[in-house]
Amino acid sequence: AQSVAQPEDQVNVAEGNPLTVKCTYSVSGNPYLFWYVQYPNRGLQFLLKYITGDNLVKGSYGFEAEFNKSQTSFHLKKPSALVSDSALYFCAVRDKSDTSGTYKYIFGTGTRLKVLA
Amino acid sequence: KAGVTQTPRYLIKTRGQQVTLSCSPISGHRSVSWYQQTPGQGLQFLFEYFSETQRNKGNFPGRFSGRQFSNSRSEMNVSTLELGDSALYLCASRPTSGVLPAGEQYFGPGTRLTVT
């Protein structure tokens, strides 16, 4: 079965420093990978996705993610963290399609990012 | 375009009661998915509706049910509430490609359900 793992419950980083939020995946076939962010009292917002092509994917708010097939990872990165980046981040993988041709998403347990001023 | 809306935003119920949550997708989106979010489990997929038909289902008991109307609005019902049902319930809509849902999901703000 497809799955994603976010090994860190929380990541702390100083403002201005680079940040990395880790995600590893387990899929059969080609992975479709996503990152979402959740701010307090809000739903999830789409950040970026990897379907195919370049291993470095650029997304919203200056975030990017690096797809590494050999390490089965899809880590989220940002060169310079802002206090306003503090939020809950979710990695997700698209599951295999079923007989109806549709598919569902499987989410990780989330990583809380705290950017310290 | 207006985003995904969910009502109510907050709800307090007692064990044994039932509850109905509502979700209105982005205009033009015909797919609505429901998720349960809890601190320990992250997001757990409940089910997806597309064109008034349930297309996918997660591993939740039959107490959790849903439906979708012809205008794509969806409702989720939980019967015989248990303390463990306390969670943030999120719905998400996505656009259609051809005759199937496709693309990334757009989430609503959620309904915070507390069962006492």
The secondary structure of chain B, three-state, reads CCCCEEECCEEEECCCCCEEEEEECCCCCCEEEEEEEECCCEEEEEEEEECCEEEEECCCCCCEEEEECCCCCEEEEECCCCHHHCEEEEEEEECEECCEECCCCEECCCEEEEEC
Top residue of A46, A105, A106 to mutate, by most chain B CBs within 10 Å, is A105
Question: Which of A42, A49, A106 is the closest to B109 by Cβ?
Answer: A42
Number of A/B CB contacts below 8 angstroms equals 55
Contact between residue B4 and residue B25 where contact means Cβ atoms under 8 Å apart: yes
Q: How confident is the model at residue B97 (pLDDT cuts 50, 70, 90)?
A: confident
Q: How confident is the model at residue B24 (pLDDT cuts 50, 70, 90)?
A: very high
Nearest residue on chain A to B10, judged by CA atoms?
A41
Question: Which of A44, A104, A109 is the closest to B107 by Cβ?
Answer: A44
Q: Is the CB of A107 inside 8 Å of chain B's CB atoms?
A: yes
Q: Is the CB of A59 inside 8 Å of chain B's CB atoms?
A: no
Q: What distance in Å separates residue B82's CA from the closest CA in chain A?
A: 22
State how beta strands A3-5 and A24-26 pair.
antiparallel
Q: Is the CB of A96 inside 8 Å of chain B's CB atoms?
A: no
A99 CB-near residues (< 8 Å, 6+ apart):
none
- Cβ-defined contact of B107 to A36 (cutoff 8 Å): yes
Neighbours of B98 (CB within 10 A): 7
What is the per-residue pLDDT for A38?
95
Per-residue pLDDT reduced to its tens digit, A56-115: 999 999 999 999 999 999 999 999 999 999 999 999 998 766 656 667 788 999 999 999
Mean per-residue pLDDT for A34-38? 95
Per-residue pLDDT reduced to its tens digit, B28-46: 899 999 999 998 788 999 9
- Cβ-defined contact of B42 to A107 (cutoff 8 Å): yes
Residue B103 reports pLDDT greater than 80: no
Residues of B with CB under 8 A from a CB of A: 4, 33, 35, 40-43, 45, 48, 50, 55-56, 58, 90, 92, 100-101, 104-110
